[in-house]
Structure 1
Amino acid sequence: MSVQNLLFLSSYHYRYIIIIILLISFFFIFDWTSISKSSHRFIIPSIRNNLLIRNLSISKKSVQKQYPFINRTININNSRVVRLAVVSAIYSDDYVEGIEVLGYSLRRINIQADLILFYISNRLNQVTLDRCRKVGWFLYAVRRIEPPRFAIIYQRFHDQYTKLHIWSMMGYDRVLYLDADTLVIRDVNELLYGTIFEDDRDELLGVVEDVWQGQLGPNFNAGVLLIRPNVTIFNDMLIKMHNMAAYGSYWAEQGFLNWYFKGSTGRLPLIYNFNNVLAIYHRDIYKRLRNRMKIIHYTYYKPFHIKKLNQLSDPSLIELWNMWNRMHDDMLNQSLIS
């Protein structure tokens, strides 16, 4: 073969290599531009090589296969069809009674949504999983979202960043998240098909003021969250949750969410996350709302860990415990739990 022919063949192959490189560069630039435009303030194009982010971040196409939920649909007044879910999470066998009673309380009000229960594989025994399933939960194993590496977090909050998975549930239009220590005592279907998202802002949350050391607000409590899933937000959270200098880490995901959403949250009335410490620090509020509250949040004590009333001294706390215990007994009488 002549030198001239060899050079011609070489240049011929180089042409294809150059074309391939140009095409790859074009798609990379196009993809980066699209992400930048669609995610506005939620994306910081950095730390993409972080192992946690690579393992947990997802795409809109893959998420529908990742969440094979029932996708129940209902029609609402404006003729939109929405897919609704109520989500809770269990990370310890010690919380099984709480999850059982919460699930029963939701079925009792005929909740118009799928009941999805997050759990971490190899954490729970089979008896616990069977009991949760029997009361109506659809069990879904999720990967634990580790807290920031150098975070100083109360032990009981170490798994709580895992709840951020709710933002990745693109099979649903609206999700109501409830902690395992909550109890639904009146109809809350209006939260799921109401108008809190009427302005179509993806970042908008439905939340309730928190109570800490007697102070009501300005932060919100993360035990009840009404959200619209958004994969862009979810992936961005996996990055920004490590920015502990901005929000601190003592309150884990609650501190992070208060910082992340700042003032862009829709505040719900106290009746949708009635913190039982209100019965101690704000008796006037308790007396005014005790016959109207819809979701009780047992932050001061866990009712499923209280076996005798003499463990409680305050009459209002006893009354709230009795509400949970009556729901528990009703559940047993319905033979939902063996």
Structure 2
Amino acid sequence: MATQDLGNRAGNTLSDRMLKVLDGAPALIRRKPRYAITSTIQTGSYTALGLMLGYSIQKHNDLVAMDAELVMLVRSGGNDGVSAENITRLERAGWRVKEAEELEFENVDTSQIRSHHRHNLNKLHVWSWTEYERIIFLDADTVCKGSLAELWQMPGDFAAAPDVWWDVITDNRFNSGLMVLRPSTEEFHSLVKHVSDPNYHSPNDADQAFLNTYYRFRYFGLPYKYNFNLIMYQFHRYYWDLLWDEAVIVHFTVRKPKPNPREHCHKGCNEWEPMEWYGMMFREMLAFYGWEKEIPLYA
């Protein structure tokens, strides 16, 4: 259940403030940051979303002043894992990449878990990263549009923002697309153990259902602005418009950005304006890194 740090081989990044060699003197060794902003890519098709997330975080946050670094947990094996080429791109976009072994759970047949949820439980690895005081975890299908600094001051060991449904605007369950957690080896082992408990997890459930059961009554609730759910745009438009300016993390839940223009959300579709905004940000990211001819537009 270990993770392997693949290092950061990519050189300059948007938030690259590393000490350099001056006048032939050896560079100083950089101290490990106190905090980590993390995400996970378990299938290669999500790589471009991870690139966009890293770019957007660094656009709105000074990681050096924050004493934080970006850490991406990837799965590189199999036919659908993250390729070596895409790992290099992630590193160039500022991510320190860690490759994790597939988590195994006693008496749990992972083949019974729905295919698009099968690898999501690997995100539990981040609880074992005790080299950091606190971790902000973000799903790869989120985009940052503001400061994350106050999240490091959240009380308790676990915090998340409320979920939203087409017919429910206020839910006492949280969405696991953004979580603030205090790493703990003991908590990590407890989480892995409880996945095997049918009272906490069933094969048809994703990680979010499990974590809601596990942290029920024990999580600190965050404002909507930290997990601004795309479903609000169609079904709760008044609140979407009301809160857009203060939103910090936009979560593309009900519709994912796609590389094929035929799958783009053109004018008239339910989520047109947010997808147009994502496409604009994605173009900006491609231009910044010079990837216009390497990576198709996601929108």
Q: Give me the TM-score of the superposition, normalised by structure 1.
A: 0.70
Report SS of the residue matched to 2:146.
coil
How far residue 301 of structure 1 moved from its aligned partner, in angstroms, is 1.1
Tell me which amino acid in the other structure corresponds to 2:130. Answer: M
Please give the per-residue CA displacement for 1:143-170, whole angstroms capped at 9, x wherever unaligned.
1124632785332111111000111010
Unaligned 5+ runs, structure 2: 9-29, 295-299
How far residue 115 of structure 1 moved from its aligned partner, in angstroms, is 0.5
CA RMSD of aligned residues (A): 2.6
What aligned pairs does 1:92-131 form with structure 2 within 5 A after superposition?
Answer: 92-109=43-60, 110-111=62-63, 112=66, 113-122=68-77, 123-131=81-89
Question: 1:257 and 2:211 equivalent?
Answer: yes
How far residue 186 of structure 1 moved from its aligned partner, in angstroms, is 1.3
In 2, Cα distance between the equivalents of 1:308 and 1:186? 31
In 2, Cα distance between the equivalents of 1:132 and 1:322? 23
Question: 1:91 and 2:68 equivalent?
Answer: no
Q: Is the 8 A contact 2:166 2:232 kept in 1?
A: no
Q: Is the 8 A contact 2:258 2:264 kept in 1?
A: no
Question: 1:307 and 2:255 equivalent?
Answer: no
Please give the per-residue CA displacement for 1:259-306, whole angstroms capped at 9, x wherever unaligned.
111111011111101110011121121111111111011011111446
- Seen in structure 2, the aligned counterparts of structure 1 residues 275 and 312 have a Cα distance that, compared at 3 Å, is farther
Unaligned 5+ runs, structure 1: 1-55, 74-82
Residue equivalent to 1:278:
232
In 2, Cα distance between the equivalents of 1:290 and 1:316? 17
Please give the per-residue CA displacement for 1:71-119, whole angstroms capped at 9, x wherever unaligned.
644xxxxxxxxx1100111112211110111111111113331100101
- Seen in structure 2, the aligned counterparts of structure 1 residues 67 and 119 have a Cα distance that, compared at 3 Å, is closer
- Seen in structure 2, the aligned counterparts of structure 1 residues 115 and 172 have a Cα distance that, compared at 3 Å, is same
Tell me which amino acid in the other structure corresponds to 1:182. Answer: T
Q: Is the 8 A contact 1:178 1:223 kept in 2?
A: yes
In 2, Cα distance between the equivalents of 1:273 and 1:138? 23
* Structure of greater Rg: 1
Select 2:162's aligned residue among 198, 209, 213.
209
Please give the per-residue CA displacement for 1:37-85, whole angstroms capped at 9, x wherever unaligned.
xxxxxxxxxxxxxxxxxxx3x8xxxx9x989997644xxxxxxxxx110
How far residue 336 of structure 1 moved from its aligned partner, in angstroms, is 5.2
Q: Is the 8 A contact 1:133 1:139 kept in 2?
A: yes
Tell me which amino acid in the other structure corresponds to 2:167. Answer: G
Between the two proteins, the alignment pairs up a number of residues equal to 261
In 2, Cα distance between the equivalents of 1:290 and 1:129? 32
Report SS of the residue matched to 2:245.
coil
Please give the per-residue CA displacement for 1:168-210, whole angstroms capped at 9, x wherever unaligned.
0100001000111000011222212x2x12xxx4xx3110111
Q: Is the 8 A contact 1:167 1:231 kept in 2?
A: yes
Report SS of the residue matched to 2:102.
coil
Q: Which has the higher helix share?
A: 1
In 2, Cα distance between the equivalents of 1:251 and 1:208? 19
Report SS of the residue matched to 1:301.
coil
How far residue 315 of structure 1 moved from its aligned partner, in angstroms, is 6.3
Residue equivalent to 2:173:
219
Q: Is the 8 A contact 2:177 2:251 kept in 1?
A: yes
Tell me which amino acid in the other structure corresponds to 1:209. Answer: P
- Seen in structure 2, the aligned counterparts of structure 1 residues 270 and 102 have a Cα distance that, compared at 3 Å, is same
Question: 1:165 and 2:120 equivalent?
Answer: no
Report SS of the residue matched to 2:164.
strand
Q: Is the 8 A contact 2:7 2:97 kept in 1?
A: no
Select 2:136's aligned residue among 170, 176, 182.
176
Shifted more, 305-314 versus 162-171: the winner is 305-314
Select 1:333's aligned residue among 278, 287, 290.
287
In 2, Cα distance between the equivalents of 1:171 and 1:236? 19
What aligned pairs does 1:52-67 form with structure 2 within 5 A after superposition?
Answer: 56=1
Residue equivalent to 1:45:
none
How far residue 251 of structure 1 moved from its aligned partner, in angstroms, is 2.9
Residue equivalent to 2:103:
145
